[in-house]
Amino acid sequence: MAKALTKQQKRSRTAEAELAFAAPSEPRRQPFDGYGLGEPYDEMFGRDSRQRPQYQILHERLQELGPDELLQRQQRADLSFLNQGITFTVYGQQESTERVMPTDLLPRILTAREWATIEAGLTQRIQALNLFLKDIYNEGKILADGVIPRELVYSAQHYRREMRELAVPRDVYVAVCGSDLVRLPDGSFAVLEDNLRVPSGVSYMLANREVMKHVFPELFRNYAVQPISQYCQALLATLRQLAPAGRADPTIVVLTPGIFNSAYFEHAFLARQMGIQLVEGSDLVVHNNVVYARTTAGLRRVDVIYRRVDDDFVDPLAFRAQSRLGVPGLFNAYRAGNVGIANSIGTGVADDKAVYAYVPKMIRYYLDADAILPNIETYLLHEEKQCQHVLENLDKLVVKAVGESGGYGMLIGPHSTPRQREEFRRAILANPRNYIAQPTLALSRAPAFCDGAIEPRHVDLRPFVLFGGDRTTVVPGGLTRVALRRGSLVVNSSQGGGSKDTWVLGA
């Protein structure tokens, strides 16, 4: 395997490729020329530079196709996304806020064995998290037993006192979860964070697969890829379980903040795939603690809401008063048991990045088991010793605000400027509870097709978990997010990341 190319070399290679195009007898440039291995785990190649068995067919096929054909297929895929309007919105920019989700052409492949571990780990985790939420909003045993500090939970930004002693249908607090996994240099997976409020990305997972089937039909014939298209029906079944008692044929809706939300495409996509209505707050009214939709035939009762609106905005009477995205009175209807809401309110306390550090203890406490998927080592900054250590090593660590998501409010030490570090130092000292720190991870890398060549890029994995009380479903796959900028460790789509189709092979 050659070392990374200099720019100069690369340019001459491009020239070579053009030449090859003109005169086919010349030796062609190979797609993997210039692909370098480093310290991080590589998804395709082992330490001995040989491709892993599950990647053999893909690797061969890529060699056969060559860069020009790959480029054509990439363009086909991009065009398909653009025409379908598979876009997301970037906040904080004035113009052209609607962008196509960048997709990488090369699938990421997981073996059935790797998947079995992930599935078991996630199943265990969502059970424990739901038990934890039920516990802290009711008796609070885990707090009384001193397993998790009481003040840590009560000071969490997303803790909702209003949820105390509220009967949640089937004790399902988190019905839909998207946990972010990373692969460490030894090849094992660990959980980087849980998304328990309104996780997004599942539509990209599904859309990626559809586009890949068109772009690489021949590969699907050679690989037994497990299907994922059942996700939406599984989601619908999960939501149906949350209907109030006695509502035999419940009306289920998706609640979106509207067309300007970054994930609007996904909200519409899910509603379409489930065959249910996509509603905005202004489409719903609450009367006598019952939720109705304004329809052309008058008001019609709504039984379950899959809400994609944050807690704060769900109901201006219960939470943020100036919100116009929500439905006045919705929370009281929920409290009265007249409507099911997924995810429930106040679930964010469990994905607070400081509370996250205690999830393995939760699993031990509630399920009497070891965590199958470990956590990433996390420094809690409200503990003086750990805080001291972090402040001394800001240039080596990653610091995150505990209540943020989407890659906002984050410091990546090795890539930061002294000024950024100083800002974070001050912010940490002002409110240590608001931050955690983790070692800078060598996220695994996977081959990605960038600018006409295949290069390694850092990836993570967000599988989607559905929890309906007695049953947990993890569709085999997930969204592999890829940091398309060379060397970048940030995979969030809001920060220049893209995605890949993720194939889980049959046993």
Partner 1 sequence: MAMLSRVADNLYWMARYLERAEQSARLLSVNLNLMIERASDSAPDHWQRVLEALWMAGSDGETAGVDEASLRDLVFARERYTSIFGCIAAARHNARQVREEISAEMWECINRLYLRLRGTDPTRVGATQLFDFLHSVVEALNLVRGTMDGTMSHGEGWRFIQVGQHIERAMAAARLLDVYLVPAESADGTAPPARNFLDWVGLLNSCSAFEPYCKSYARGIEARGILEFLLLNAEFPHSIRYCIDRVQNNLGDIAVAAGQRAGRSQRLAGRLQAQLNFGHVDDIMSGDLGAYLSSIEQQCTEIHDAIFQSYILYSLDDALIA
Q: Which is nearer to partner 1, 100 or 376 (CB)?
A: 100
Closest CA to 262 of 481, 103, 494: 494
Residue 125 structure tokens: 């985790």
Q: Which CB, 61 or 324, lies closer to partner 1?
A: 324
**Closest separation in Å from C-beta 295 to partner 1:** 4
E strand segments, 1-102 = 87-89, 98-100
CB 461 within 8 A of CB 183: yes
From the CB of 173, what's the least distance to partner 1, in Å? Answer: 27
Q: Which is nearer to partner 1, 184 or 285 (CB)?
A: 285
For residue 326, the minimal CB distance to partner 1 (Å) is: 16
Nearer of residues 153 and 278 to partner 1, judged by Cβ: 278
Smallest separation (angstroms) from partner 1 to the CB of 253: 8
Close Cβ partners of 117 (under 8 Å, ≥ 6 residues apart): 189, 372, 373
Torsion of CA 206, 209, 210, 214, to 10 degrees: 170
The two counts, helices (H) then strands (E), for the chain are 15, 23
Q: Closest approach of Cβ 250 to partner 1, in Å? A: 11
Burial class (CB in 10 A: 0-12, 13-18, 19+), 30: middle
d(CA 489, CA 100): 21
**Alpha carbons 313 and 484: distance in angstroms, whole number:** 33
User: Considering beta carbons, is residue 42 or 303 the nearer one to partner 1?
Assistant: 303
* CB of 95 or CB of 470, closer to partner 1: 95
Can you say how many angstroms the Cα of residue 189 is from the centroid of all Cα atoms in its chain?
15
Q: Strand 304-307 to strand 397-401: parallel, antiparallel, or no bridges (unpaired)?
A: unpaired
Residue found under tokens 């004790």: 171
Tokens of 90: 């970037």
Query: What span, in angstroms and rounded, lies between the C-alpha atoms of 93 and 409?
Result: 17
Q: How far is the CB of 283 from partner 1 (least distance, A)?
A: 5
Q: Closer CB to partner 1, residue 217 or residue 298?
A: 298
Please tell me whether residue 497 adopts helix, strand or coil conformation.
strand
Q: How far does CA 447 lie from the centroid of its chain?
A: 20
Closest CB 127 distance from partner 1, rounded Å = 32
Q: Smallest gap, in angstroms, from Cβ of residue 83 to partner 1? A: 5
CB of residue 235 to partner 1, shortest distance in Å: 14
CA distances to 65, 120, 312 from 180, in Å: 33, 15, 24
Question: Element (H or E) spanning 450, and its range?
Answer: strand 445-450
Cα separation, 28 vs 157, in Å, equals 57
Whole-number minimum distance, CB 462 to partner 1, in Å?
A: 23
Cβ closest to partner 1, residue 282 vs residue 393: 282
Give dist(CA 256, CA 307) in Å, integer: 7
Could you tell me where the beta strands, DSSP code E, fall in 357-443? 379-380, 397-401, 410-412, 435-439
C-alpha span between 173 and 196 (Å, rounded): 9
Residue 176 or residue 279: which is nearer to partner 1 going by CB? 279
- The least distance separating partner 1 from the CB of residue 385, rounded to whole angstroms, comes to 53
Specify the residue, 111 or 251, whose C-beta has the smaller distance to partner 1: 251
Which amino acid, residue 139?
E
Give 3-state DSSP helix, strand, coil % of the chain, rounded to 5.
Answer: 40, 20, 40
Residue 80 or 155 with smaller CB distance to partner 1: 80
Asked whether 185 and 41 are in contact (CB, 8 A), the reply is yes
Nearer to partner 1, 113 or 300 (CB): 300
Closest approach, Cβ 439 to partner 1, in A, equals: 43
- Give 141's contacts (C-beta < 8 A, 6+ positions apart): 135
Greatest C-alpha distance within the chain: 79
Strand pairing class (252-256; 277-280): parallel
In angstroms, give the least distance from the CB of 240 to partner 1: 15
The residue ranges that bind partner 1 (CB under 8 A) are 82-85, 251, 258-259, 264, 268-269, 271-272, 276-280, 282-283, 285, 287, 293-300
Nearer to partner 1, 122 or 274 (CB): 274
What's the residue count for the chain? 507
